[in-house]
Structure 1
Amino acid sequence: MRFLVFSFFFLCVHFVKAQNQQANSISGVIIDREDSAPVQFAYLYLKNYPDFSALADEQGEFKFFFPSQFSDETLVISCIGYEKKEVIISSLSATANKLSLQRQLLSLNEVMVMPEGNSIEEMISKAIDNIPKNYPDKRHQLRGFYRKVSTNYEEFTKLVEAAVLVEDVSYQKDGYSGAC
């Protein structure tokens, strides 16, 4: 039995060690070249292997994982409203990279935002009706961001994007009189 436990432990350690040798990562922050403000939700991907990708967070911080055989590939950083930037991965350090993007003026002919099916008043009414079912007894905050980008590897062809912040600092469930 001891031999079996020891063997299992040895295999687990070996597996974890092998995984660490096969994957590399780089991390850093993406900033605006003009005012050094963080670029929120910038998209990072390998130029020749776009399935390896990452998304920067609200502070522009990112952590990008890639297989070690791609360490000489080109990393592309893009965000709407900024010029695309290409960087060779081997020129970056593993941590504390500061990558700056140059602003780019975009002009759109027309943008239409329309809900599918229901009117906006209906959707808001339904959301308010569901507050007692969804909120806990304590203060609640929900942040969400969704982005679906379609490209032809040269330019953006379609973008679907949504951001939401819901906060209710004074909500109390029925019968609950404690402080939030």
Structure 2
Amino acid sequence: MCSSIISAQTSEAFKELEGKVIDANTKDPLIFTDIVIKDSNISTVTNSDGEFLIKIPERFSDGILTISHLGYEKKEIKISSIKNPIKIALSNDYTELKEISITVNALDPKDLVIKTLGKKSSIYNNKNTIMTAFYRETIKKRRRNASLSEAVVKIHKQPYNNLRRDHIELIKARKNTDYTKLDTLALKLQGGPFSNLYTDIIKYPEFIFTEEDIPLYQFSFDASTQINKKPIYVVNFKQKEDIKTPLYYGKLYIDAETLALTSAVYSLNVSNRELSSQMYVRKKPRKVDVYPTQANYRVNYRTKDGKWHYAYSNISLTFKVNWKGKLFNSVYTLSSEMAVTDWEVHDTKLAKVRSQLIRPTTILSEKASGFSDPRFWGAYNIIEPEKSIESAIKKIQKQLKRT
């Protein structure tokens, strides 16, 4: 049964819908699936188990829930007909792409990428926008959670057609760290939500595709795909073999009609330990070597009224820590994800309240307040935690009750 709850942030009631999205054929969970209330800016994304929970304001109780995933047919379900929990199966979109294949043969993939990066002024949201987003960050030693942080933030999103950087305002946050699992080495993720925001390649191309770097990459076409019945170019990229500086490799998914970037999945080439370590490690003890073994990124965009905007990103960084004189090493994984759950256009200048803004160098507060309160987030939409994180939260709640 859907529960109706009075919001702590507004006077409007809302109900929670929870479910799981799977592949209709394999029954595997579909991660990073977009869950959107049609004709609104309210949305969420499925977690690594394919699960989601979305809080729907009462005014949309007779609305439509849309479920879409790259390469699958979009599904629409009337909200009033949904019973908790719901399992949604999406089928592969098998429509042949003969026309797009012919077009690809006439295009140079490098030129296509350059054209896509140059589209920010025409097809992306160029109005001042306040985006509500949910952010989660975890640090694991091998498979055990050592630190867990969550926050609701307001992104003061600048228009895509100017060079001003976005600001982030911290609304609510909670954090718990068990330093006994960190072997006296406190790994901290500097940047917090900004790290995820900077994966917005269209707004911040300087972090991956500068004018100087593009000639250092090799671009090629992969098999095309579709999203919501629209053809999508898939472009592979990697650094040229004679380039020793660590650069990125991965795939860009580009809308064939508008040349908008719909998503990107990429990784840093970490084969050069020394240089890749310099990119990530800001501070460490002299008797320890720290270097990344994996650095993976993903960013998704969403469209509304013909304009595209940043919607979701995740980062996963794995580091190996070697203490000089010690026989065994340690492996840590730092992960973060951020999803835009609502947004609204603002005609006035953004980021007026400077005291509430966080910096790009921020490390989230060590405070653990809120983990004992199941209604901590109120009406804010969050990303459902995966099973291991859900277990860690329950342990934190038990610890707080005992103390």
TM-score between the two structures when normalised by the length of structure 1: 0.66
Alignment match of 1:127 (pick from 255, 260, 276): 276
In the alignment, what sits opposite 2:34?
43
**Quick one: distance in 1 between partners of 2:312 and 2:32?**
11
**Quick one: distance in 1 between partners of 2:300 and 2:309?**
10
Pairing 1:1-180 to 2, within 5 Å after superposition: 18-19=6-7, 22-49=13-40, 51-93=41-83, 95-105=84-94, 107=97, 108-109=100-101, 110=104, 115-117=208-210, 118=213, 119=216, 120=239, 121=243, 122=245, 123=247, 124=269, 126-133=275-282, 144-150=297-303, 165-168=316-319, 170-172=320-322, 177=326, 180=330
1:26: how far off?
0.5
**Quick one: distance in 1 between partners of 2:92 and 2:325?**
50
| Higher RCO by CA contacts (8 Å cutoff, separation 6 or greater) | 2
CA-atom RMSD in angstroms: 3.9
**1:8-59 alpha-carbon deviations (Å, 9 max, x no partner):** xxxxxxxxx741661211111001111111111111111122x011111122
**Quick one: distance in 1 between partners of 2:37 and 2:302?**
15
**Quick one: distance in 2 between partners of 1:135 and 1:68?**
51
Instruction: Point out the more displaced range, 100-109 or 76-85.
Output: 100-109
In the alignment, what sits opposite 1:4?
none
**Quick one: distance in 2 between partners of 1:165 and 1:32?**
24
**Quick one: distance in 1 between partners of 2:24 and 2:291?**
37
**Structure 2 vs 1, CA of residues 147 and 134 (structure 1 numbering), >3 Å: closer, same or farther?**
farther
SS in 1 for 2:282: helix
**Quick one: distance in 1 between partners of 2:281 and 2:325?**
12
1:128: how far off?
3.3
Question: How many residues matched?
Answer: 158
**Quick one: distance in 2 between partners of 1:89 and 1:134?**
50
Amino acid at match of 2:66: V
Query: Is the radius of gyration larger for structure 1 or structure 2?
Result: 1
**Quick one: distance in 1 between partners of 2:284 and 2:94?**
41
Unmatched runs of 5 consecutive residues or more in structure 1: 1-16
Tell whether the 8 Å contact from 2:34 to 2:44 is kept in structure 1 after alignment.
yes
SS in 1 for 2:322: coil
TM-score between the two structures when normalised by the length of structure 2: 0.33
SS in 2 for 1:149: strand
Higher helix share: 1
